[in-house]
Structure 1
């Protein structure tokens, strides 16, 4: 397979990408420039058509990027919005109540979860996603959600990479037997240890839950991904516990902080002390701007806080930050279709990052950054020897992708074509 006349993120000119089997074999400068219609626009505008001819694809000056990474989503919750009832308050706490009612009310069935999750996964894949880290609620002795997603992971393994986080939605200690269920989930098919310390009964039990998550990670050789400080409370500071545990156990690059919305409330003095510790620990962050803008700040008087982690400050410290969907039509968030460019758009807006520098690297938040979250940097990216998992985007630059919300016209996962699509055409009268 040969992809010609491709533009690459942060590289000038046009490039040819050779693919052998499941991997990229070589990348070289294109021998010819892509013909252009002078009426289309300037030299940064791709030609009208991507051409497919056997084992050859002419990208026609379009951007080729690694397949997108969804680093934080809940596929087992997908497509459950309004069932058994809507979330009228829009709060995180009512969403958790509704989810509990769903589990207790006989609606939490493995077949239903599988079908809903598959629909959500395919929707994300249609927007260029090739890698998914999904949390799955294991505070359920039936393990209906976990078993459904283990089956989905197997069924879609040739089309998308899926890894499962053993997530105790109701707490390791707030829910009777929660810690044991997390361990059982790791034995049953999950590969990442989750947690939710800010919802444990006390600060002390929250700290204990973080430590126990790291204990399990060491026992199973797993990574850690904890829902951390997702609460409008400046005193919720479990992120410092995560950083300390990561450093003390020499688990750098193996722990991810999800949400961290309380960081947006921390005072400058504490942040000055915290940021170097985060950088030293090499934790990564998964930030969900759309969902946390929706959930946070409820009940506050003006000015209403944004409740989104300080992405710009983290990025300036060279800490990898991923932008993530989180939910797809569930009690926590009624929207979401897996289009990560919508999330990037919101994330850059709310983080005051619409500078040329940030817009020219906007895809980092859904490609190279979350590759660190998942620990796949050794085989991910547009480089010789790495997996041929890539997308062709109907745009010539990252700024254009951001501004236009451009279509994915081709997606490949480990050398296998996933889909091809045509951009919408408008015929003016």
Structure 2
């Protein structure tokens, strides 16, 4: 495969890319635009980018909104209640059908790596079993990580710890937790200690739903970061959501950020879902309820973005487009300066790959030829235009391709008299 007239991120010149045996063989700067030939793919000045990465989604719950009831209040806790109603209806065929439909939607929008949470507070563990089986079936086509996630609490749910260990024995890649949903603070802290111990025992990564609440007194993040620091596990630990940080006072945060940076843990924010679920107990002023993405980035702490849900009890919208999620984050967190735009794609590409500890990720000679072609010539133009994913290539093979939308001039504009 040979690609000409391509842009690369943070590089002004045009490039040609040669792919051999499924790997990047050469990346060569061009002196000018090359004429298209029958054998070459002409990028036409559009941006070649490492694939999008979806680091936080719930495939076992995707496409279940309204089954059997809708979340009328729009709150996180009613969402959990509605999911408890849906869980008895789960079976392998049901989960497979919905998960595969959602994965296809993500692939069509440039995603090649996914981390999915699967509920372990289900005595059958059918979500874990099905998604681990799908991971093996799709190996080579997509990178899929499965998180053993105790939705109703690991220590507050009957046999929750036993089910968690069973999920890890089945083959989950990541240990999950939800300390703020445990019955007491003591149980929440105990759950964090246990899940890090399980990660060491099973050589797993860690991804904790942490402080997904508006309560400024919910401070399990400091406990998680401290445990990760003391056990030298920071690069393998992720704190998801951390929406309580939006309610922390600045004096506390100034102390907290020192610990977060020293710990080296990763962050995942899901801004479309958080701004919908959080602040539900406020009248006005009403909190945005999204973690401090801008401040985390400025502190050089790894933060990335996920969609969390697609048409499920917590979020009844969603279309698989991470560029939409990125657009929300930039607006909600007031990251509207040019420097914010210039590296914006990091939060749905490189940063997420780092949090997931993906190997061989990125456009470099010798790496697997996994990439997407985006409508636009740099991060800013892609984000501003919400450009389409025109091409997705994995191991040198095209897995998705579409033509850019063509804008037809309006006859009314064309015929308007000159001013």
Whether TM exceeds 0.5 here: the answer is yes
Instruction: Structure 1: state its 5+ residue gaps.
Output: 36-50
Task: Find the aligned partners of 1:53 and 1:213 in 2 and give their Cα distance.
Answer: 55
Report how far residue 418 of structure 1 moved.
0.7
Task: Find the aligned partners of 1:253 and 1:77 in 2 and give their Cα distance.
Answer: 28
Which residue pairs with 1:172 in the alignment?
Answer: 154
Which residue pairs with 1:90 in the alignment?
Answer: 74
Report how far residue 52 of structure 1 moved.
8.3
Report how far residue 158 of structure 1 moved.
2.6
Task: Find the aligned partners of 1:312 and 1:156 in 2 and give their Cα distance.
Answer: 35
Which residue pairs with 1:62 in the alignment?
Answer: 46
Task: Find the aligned partners of 2:235 and 2:37 in 1 and give their Cα distance.
Answer: 40
Report how far residue 372 of structure 1 moved.
1.2
Report how far residue 188 of structure 1 moved.
0.5
CA deviations 1:33-85 (Å, max 9, x no partner) are 257xxxxxxxxxxxxxxx7844x311111100000000100011100000010
RMSD: 1.3
Matches within 5 A, 1:276-425: 276-376=258-358, 378-425=359-406
Task: Find the aligned partners of 1:300 and 1:311 in 2 and give their Cα distance.
Answer: 22
> TM-score, normalising length from structure 2?
0.95
CA deviations 1:91-123 (Å, max 9, x no partner) are 00000001001113xx11111111001111110
Which residue pairs with 1:38 in the alignment?
Answer: none
Which residue pairs with 2:141 in the alignment?
Answer: 159
Task: Find the aligned partners of 2:197 and 2:101 in 1 and give their Cα distance.
Answer: 35
Task: Find the aligned partners of 1:208 and 1:52 in 2 and give their Cα distance.
Answer: 63
Which residue pairs with 2:32 in the alignment?
Answer: 32
Task: Find the aligned partners of 2:11 and 2:206 in 1 and give their Cα distance.
Answer: 34
Q: Secondary structure at the match of 1:194?
A: strand
Task: Find the aligned partners of 2:302 and 2:25 in 1 and give their Cα distance.
Answer: 28
Q: Secondary structure at the match of 1:208?
A: helix
Report how far residue 223 of structure 1 moved.
0.7
Task: Answer whether contact 1:34 1:60 (CA < 8 A) is retained.
Answer: no
Which residue pairs with 2:245 in the alignment?
Answer: 263
Task: Find the aligned partners of 1:177 and 1:34 in 2 and give their Cα distance.
Answer: 64
Report how far residue 31 of structure 1 moved.
4.4
Task: Answer whether contact 2:53 2:352 (CA < 8 A) is retained.
Answer: yes
1:140 aligns with 2:122: yes
Matches within 5 A, 1:110-259: 110-259=92-241
Using the TM superposition, name which of 413-422 and 203-212 deviates more. Answer: 413-422
Instruction: Structure 2: state its 5+ residue gaps.
Output: 412-419
Report how far residue 355 of structure 1 moved.
0.7
Task: Find the aligned partners of 2:163 and 2:135 in 1 and give their Cα distance.
Answer: 20
Q: Secondary structure at the match of 1:24?
A: strand
Q: Secondary structure at the match of 2:234?
A: coil
Task: Find the aligned partners of 1:145 and 1:415 in 2 and give their Cα distance.
Answer: 32
Q: Secondary structure at the match of 1:7?
A: strand
Equivalenced residues, count:
410
Task: Find the aligned partners of 2:261 and 2:220 in 1 and give their Cα distance.
Answer: 16
Task: Find the aligned partners of 1:191 and 1:52 in 2 and give their Cα distance.
Answer: 44
Task: Find the aligned partners of 1:415 and 1:227 in 2 and give their Cα distance.
Answer: 36
Task: Find the aligned partners of 2:34 and 2:218 in 1 and give their Cα distance.
Answer: 54
Report how far residue 403 of structure 1 moved.
1.2
> TM-score, normalising length from structure 1?
0.93
